[in-house]
Amino acid sequence: MSILITGGAGYIGSHTCVELLDAGYEITVLDNYCNSCPEALERVKKITGKDFKYYECDIRDAEGLDKIFKENNIEAVIHFAGLKAVGESCQKPLEYYANNIGGTLTMLEVMRSNNCKKIVFSSSATVYGAENPVPFVETMKTGTTTNPYGTTKLYIETILQDISKADDQWSVVLLRYFNPVGAHESGLIGEAPSFPNNLMPYISQVAVGKRECLSVYGDCYDTPDGTGVRDYIHVVDLAKGHVKAIEYVMPRTGVEIFNLGTGNGVSVLELVKAFEDANNIKIPYKIVEPRAGDIAYCYSNPEKAYKVLGWKAEKSVKEMCEDTWRWQKNNPDGYN
Ligand code: NAD
Ligand code: UD1
């Protein structure tokens, strides 16, 4: 029996592979490497000392997927595979809908035809939109996404809820991630974007000398220091949340939604300062215009995950900064 990890060579996927292997699970990984490389999976083997099979496969390739299901005894899927750049999704909506939604539909069909009906899905805090008050709770109304990427998450959540309503054998866990940052403490795996769209990767690329200066997107928000407040969560804590989600999804049916966040809001300037203090490096920054579509506050109420899954985030902002920097300085060009 094996857990199939789609998009397992990616940032969150590779960290989740480590935690699943450490917890004693057998895993099978697939990825088309459009935003990753097999080296990440070799490093997962190095960290854990455990072996597993991985396939180069696209989730839109029904035949390829079916072969993986037939060759391995897959009992559940953790579904990370997808495109995730918000800005790019506004320029290439068709590609985002085809890859994320089309790919998910193909994969769900192959799952069903192989009688595998247990899935943990990577959703996002973005589904809470701009209108809900913080902290975000799972019971809040969703449906006000502002970009195609966010809309793919919302639609996939809806699709999974619908198939579960129609067929009560399905067991679905929707995980809404807040802002994953950090890296495995070994410094062997981490996030390696060619262009950093998000705050922590940008800070660490400034630190390593690849970018000159951080642009802080606005200091006029209605927050204590005027900069945006987010719920940064260490990727290893997030990965551990997936182990709990798999334990939960296995013996059950139905749909359950969980926030995976810390519940703490941290501003842009607080994160910059924390990175500087943790690593003794100066991060030059300038205040620029706010980024379109940004909101002032985004943080979770993570109580449900604690009550139901027995999971809570444990790592501090300092550890997020230290681990990001260890990865970045040991691998200035990512896996290349
Ligand atoms: P990532 O890009 O590092 O990982 C995604 C992986 O999926 C990559 O390895 C990519 O090559 C693969 N992939 C993409 N399309 C594929 C396809 N058609 N077939 C097979 N493989 C494909 O991203 P990540 O940060 O690890 O995110 C993982 C998941 O979590 C994504 O679904 C993302 O939308 C979601 N998520 C991420 C964040 C975040 O801030 N990182 C926040 C919320 C949700
Ligand atoms: C991003 C995604 C969102 C996703 C979330 C969780 C975008 C536009 N949105 O949002 O869909 O759900 O991550 O992973 O990518 N900032 C700067 N300078 C920078 C980069 C960011 O000041 O160079 C600020 C932002 O304005 C924001 C904060 O830092 O206030 C965090 O930004 P980012 O890391 O992009 O995450 P989110 O805005 O939460």
Find where tokens 């793919």 sit.
152
At residue 108, the pLDDT reads 98
Report the candidate in 165, 208, 197 with the shortest Cα–Cα distance to residue 327: 208
pLDDT at 293: 87
**Rounded Cα distance, 311 and 246, in Å:** 12
Tens digit of each residue's pLDDT (9 = 90 or more) over 100-137: 999 999 999 999 999 999 999 999 999 999 899 999 99
Is the pLDDT at 336 greater than 90, yes or no? Answer: no
CA angle 102, 85, 139 (to 5 degrees): 75
In tens, the pLDDT along 74-89 reads 999 999 999 999 999 9
Cis? peptide before 193, omega within 30° of 0: no
Q: Tell me which residue has its CA closest to atom 18 in ligand 2.
A: 216
Q: Which two tokens stand for residue 328?
A: 């970045």
Q: pLDDT per residue over 172-194, tens digit each?
A: 999 999 999 999 999 999 998 98
The rounded Å distance from CA 77 to ligand 1 centre is 14
- Closest ligand 1 atom, residue 9 Cα: 9
Q: pLDDT tier at 204 (50, 70, 90 boundaries)?
A: very high
Ligand 1, atom 10, residue with closest C-alpha: 35
CA nearest ligand 2 atom 21, residue? 199
- Compute the distance between CA of residue 178 and CA of residue 99 in angstroms, rounded to an integer: 22
Instruction: Give buried/exposed letters for 42-56 (b at 16+ CB in 10 A, else e).
Output: ebbeebbebebebbe
Catalytic residues: 149
What does the pLDDT look like over 266-308, one tens digit per residue? Answer: 999 999 999 999 999 999 999 999 998 899 999 999 999 999 9
Average pLDDT score, the chain: 97
Q: What is the pLDDT at residue 194?
A: 85
User: 124 CB less than 6 Å from ligand 2?
Assistant: yes
Whether the per-residue pLDDT at 143 is higher than 90: the answer is no
Please tell me whether residue 46 adopts helix, strand or coil conformation.
helix
Cβ within 8 Å of residue 24, ≥6 positions away: none
Question: If pLDDT is split at 50, 70 and 90, which confidence band does 144 have?
Answer: confident
Instruction: Provide the pLDDT confidence category of residue 21 given band limits of 50, 70 and 90.
Output: very high
Of 5, 34, 157, 236, which is best to mutate to test ligand 1, by the most ligand atoms within 8 angstroms of its C-beta? 34
Atom of ligand 2 nearest to the CA of 216: 22
Over residues 51-66, mean pLDDT: 98
**pTM given for the model:** 0.98
Torsion-angle region of residue 209: left (phi > 0), alpha (psi -120 to 50) or beta?
left
**β-strand pairing of 171-177 with 27-31:** unpaired
